[in-house]
A and B are shown apart, each in its own frame.
Chain A
Amino acid sequence: MCDRKPTCGSQGAAVEPNVSSIASDITTLIGLIGTANTLIGLLAKTAIFTFLGIAAPAVLWLGAVAGGLITFAVVFDFYRLRCLASPDTRPSCSAGVIQGVVPSFNSATDELFPFTATHDRVDVVVKCDYWFLVETNAGFVHCSADADASPILRGYHRSDKVCAAGLGSTIGAGAGLAGGILLGALAAAAIGCATIILCLLAILVALVIAAAVVLAGAFVGGQIGKAAAGDDAPAAEEGSELRSGDYVTTQGGLLTSGEDEGARVYWFVDRTILHGRSMLSPPFSHRDPDANLTSDACPTRPIIK
């Protein structure tokens, strides 16, 4: 017997985070590094600063330093949040049928900026017994495109490839930082600060070149890290690769994810138990696992009176 079905989409007023905390971190970094650099710029005024034979007004150096440092900090922040942070999660268990598997590095953006790649994701249309997990503390509910609009619970499988790319990108960005600042200052010095608009352009050029060199380092480092890690597709406990249509029990830690519009997701899936395959094709309805996966591997829900 199913409870009331959760409403698909946004759950109303945004109480839970529904934007990636990386966006907030980037803005904070711009705020901190930007304020510090403008303060130093105010003190340095029109002073000419020479380093390794490159002479440029202090504000142009500061533009390059800001561009390089912010970009490096952003690359590291992606790695930190994807692989190093241990957010609070709620240990949970659910079961259903796999609607689809979204592998990591599935877009050109992820190849060009390897530090932005997300872990492998498995979307499961859950049995109605587990709708409470999809809905509780959620800012958003993802649903299948079937006639019942069945709720989906996303599960992220920790990928060594993503973490190796993140670490490689961070090392590469760090290696590119000094070169980026020097090149940025050099290019900006060629433009100079003769007029207001030229000076504005020179600061922009310093910032962009420093950031671009850091990103180039992140690209090279990320690709090396990714290649070194090899493939690691999400798999069930017994070793078989997970595919659309598999009946599964999923165990792991649930949290509300800003990167998933505020939906509840497993971050990460600790254990997946395979129970067989559906005879139907996607988009799946909850009625399929409700009828065909009657005994899953989750412990029985306690009855709350």
Chain B
Amino acid sequence: MAAFPGIWQRSLCAVTGAIAGGITGLVFGLLQGALGRVPLCAPDVLGAGLLLGGFSWLVALVVVGLWLHHGLAATAAPALITSLLTALLTVGVSNRVLIAPLSVPLGLLIGTLVGMALCRLCEGRWLRREEARHVR
């Protein structure tokens, strides 16, 4: 966990994912506190994941797009994919672990990894497209 702030200062994708994961983990962790150690069934996990994915996307848009001045248009699509994937995975994993206070660190970890992975994927495609353009 101590290495995370360093990663978050070097990858906008990772920090966007971490914000989404942290928010998802916070809300789902509170819900787990109210429910006790009772796992949700699959449709509820999906519903909660989608709802929290949408909410954490809005938070990521405000923080990264507006407050950090990266722009709403540039942030919207990548943040949506990152937030939805992160929220679904965070809810799914937290629902298995069933330890409410772990849901936030889990969300941060999952969000950071999802953000970094998606960034690598897009970067690779972008590089291949650039190479193709130069060859032409």
Which A residues form the contact surface with B (CB < 8 A)? 14, 17-24, 26-28, 30-31, 33-35, 37-42, 44-46, 57-59, 62-63, 66, 74, 78, 107, 109, 113, 116, 118, 193, 196-197, 199-201, 203-204, 207, 258-259
Output the nearest chain A residue to B9 by Cβ-Cβ distance: A17
B32 within 8 A of A: yes
Q: For chain B, which range describes its interface: under 10, 10 to 19, 20 to 34, or 35 or more residues?
A: 35 or more
Q: How far is the CA of A66 from the CA of B31 in the complex (A)?
A: 13
**Distance between B17 CB and nearest chain A CB, rounded to angstroms:** 10
**Distance between B93 CB and nearest chain A CB, rounded to angstroms:** 15
CB-based contact A45/B5 at 8 Å: no
Which residues on the A side are within 8 Å of B100 (C-beta)? 38-39, 41-42
CB-based contact B34/A34 at 8 Å: no
Q: How far is the CA of A219 from the CA of B15 in the complex (A)?
A: 26
Q: How far is the CA of A204 from the CA of B52 in the complex (A)?
A: 9
Cβ contact of A66, chosen from B9, B18, B26, cutoff 8 A: B26
CB-based contact B23/A35 at 8 Å: no
Which residues on the A side are within 8 Å of B108 (C-beta)? 27, 30-31
Cβ contact of A30, chosen from B26, B52, B68, cutoff 8 A: B26
A-contacting 9-mer, from B40-48, B78-86, B128-136: B40-48
**Distance between B15 CB and nearest chain A CB, rounded to angstroms:** 4
B53 within 8 A of A: no
Cβ contact of B63, chosen from A17, A26, A28, A201, cutoff 8 A: A26
B82-136 contacts to A (CB < 8 Å): 100-101, 103-105, 108
**Distance between A79 CB and nearest chain B CB, rounded to angstroms:** 13
CB-based contact A45/B34 at 8 Å: yes
B76 within 8 A of A: no
A19, A20, A57: residue with the most chain B Cβ atoms closer than 10 Å: A19
Cβ contact of A204, chosen from B1, B9, B55, B101, cutoff 8 A: B55
Q: How far is the CA of A34 from the CA of B20 in the complex (A)?
A: 12
Q: A19-B15, A24-B9, A27-B18 are in contact. Are A41 and B30 (CB under 8 A)?
A: yes
CB-based contact B27/A207 at 8 Å: yes
Cβ contact of A59, chosen from B9, B12, B30, B51, cutoff 8 A: B30
CB-based contact A44/B33 at 8 Å: yes
Which residues on the A side are within 8 Å of B40 (C-beta)? 196
Q: How far is the CA of A35 from the CA of B30 in the complex (A)?
A: 10
Output the nearest chain A residue to B1 by Cβ-Cβ distance: A31
Output the nearest chain B residue to A75 by Cβ-Cβ distance: B67
6 contacts across the A-B interface (CB closer than 8 A): A20-B68, A23-B12, A35-B104, A116-B67, A118-B69, A200-B51
Q: A23-B68, A66-B26, A204-B55 are in contact. Are A196 and B31 (CB under 8 A)?
A: yes
Q: How far is the CA of A45 from the CA of B15 in the complex (A)?
A: 31
B22, B36, B51: residue with the most chain A Cβ atoms closer than 10 Å: B22
B66 within 8 A of A: yes
